[in-house]
Amino acid sequence: MAFFPHLLLATLEGLVTSAVLALTALGLSLVFGVMRIVNVAHGEFFMLGAVLAWAITSAISGNPALGFALALVLSPLIVGAIAWIAERLVLRRIEYNPEATIVATIGLLYIIQQLALTFYGPEARPVTPPFNYRIQLPWFGYSGYKLSIIAASALLLLATWFVLTRTRIGLIMRATQYDRETALAFGIPVGRVYGAVFALGAMLAAIAAVLIVPIQQAHYLMGLDPLLLSFIVVIIGGLGSLRGTVIAALLIGVSDGIISVFFSPTLAKIIATLVVAMVLVFRPQGLFGTATK
């Protein structure tokens, strides 16, 4: 294949990766930014979103688009509810102690994963995409659904940005992130905000998973990769920074696509990890993060 179509394919692939990654990483970043905790179980919320999408779409017969639309709404809501319960039952009791939270969320990771194995099983199961449209380019064909993921993700990111910066809920979240004690003094129910933010973070991961599942199958071990990549993105972008997360996701996704196509996928991973190391050494707060007080 000639250079240009090759590059085009690589970029398209990279953009799809970026789109899903941006949503997942944003969830992780939000939780860290507001609550100052590291949620190791984030990838499992992603997996749960995909598994639920399978359960919902296979329960609904008829037009696949209907089942998919329902999954896109219901699956994040269920995952959000589970995350909220986990936050109330576990994280609140350990008072968001950073070390204890890491251990607790590792426990959560295994519990969710093994429950999925027990009730969902070890198979990789497909979800029918809402529409099957193959775009025939002069050099190769490409999935129309994949392109729609990019658009959907962009819309969702805009919506999140709007909520965070233009609404009262967003203001409360930012206030809690900025200074927990002062927020508390001003009558903001910080505990409830934490619960909501943790649920919202999980929901973002679940939405990303529902979008990706028609092209990637639901599997009980699928949470690991998004977790690692989200960490990479969040570290590079700066914890708690929406803009940084999106730009880092684009950087990682597109460079992964291009390096994978032209060189090797292993090299892409090596470079991504190297960038993380460099960022940690020279700009520990991330490219767009602000230094913690």
Q: Which residues of this protein are in contact with another protein, per CB under 8 A?
A: 1, 5-6, 9-10, 13, 16-17, 64, 114, 117, 121-124, 126-129, 134, 136, 140-143, 215-217, 219, 221-222, 225, 257, 260-261, 265-266
User: Residue 216 CB, nearest distance to another protein (Å)?
Assistant: 5
- Contacts for 36 with CB less than 8 Å, ≥ 6 apart: 96, 98
Alpha-carbon distance 151 to 203, whole Å?
Answer: 18
Return the number of the residue (76 or 257) whose C-beta is nearest another protein.
Answer: 257
Return the number of the residue (31 or 127) whose C-beta is nearest another protein.
Answer: 127
Ranges of H-type helices in the chain: 3-35, 42-59, 64-86, 98-119, 144-166, 168-178, 180-185, 190-216, 224-237, 242-262, 265-282
Return the number of the residue (177 or 260) whose C-beta is nearest another protein.
Answer: 260
Return the number of the residue (122 or 187) whose C-beta is nearest another protein.
Answer: 122
User: Residue 225 CB, nearest distance to another protein (Å)?
Assistant: 7
User: Residue 13 CB, nearest distance to another protein (Å)?
Assistant: 5
Return the number of the residue (64 or 170) whose C-beta is nearest another protein.
Answer: 64
User: Residue 116 CB, nearest distance to another protein (Å)?
Assistant: 11
- Contacts for 79 with CB less than 8 Å, ≥ 6 apart: 45, 48, 49, 52, 202, 203, 205, 206
Return the number of the residue (37 or 261) whose C-beta is nearest another protein.
Answer: 261
User: Residue 229 CB, nearest distance to another protein (Å)?
Assistant: 11
Pairing of strands 141-143, 134-136: antiparallel
CA dihedral 258, 125, 212, 137 (to 10 degrees): 60
**Residue among 198, 194, 276, 190 at smallest CA distance from 238:** 276
User: Residue 134 CB, nearest distance to another protein (Å)?
Assistant: 6
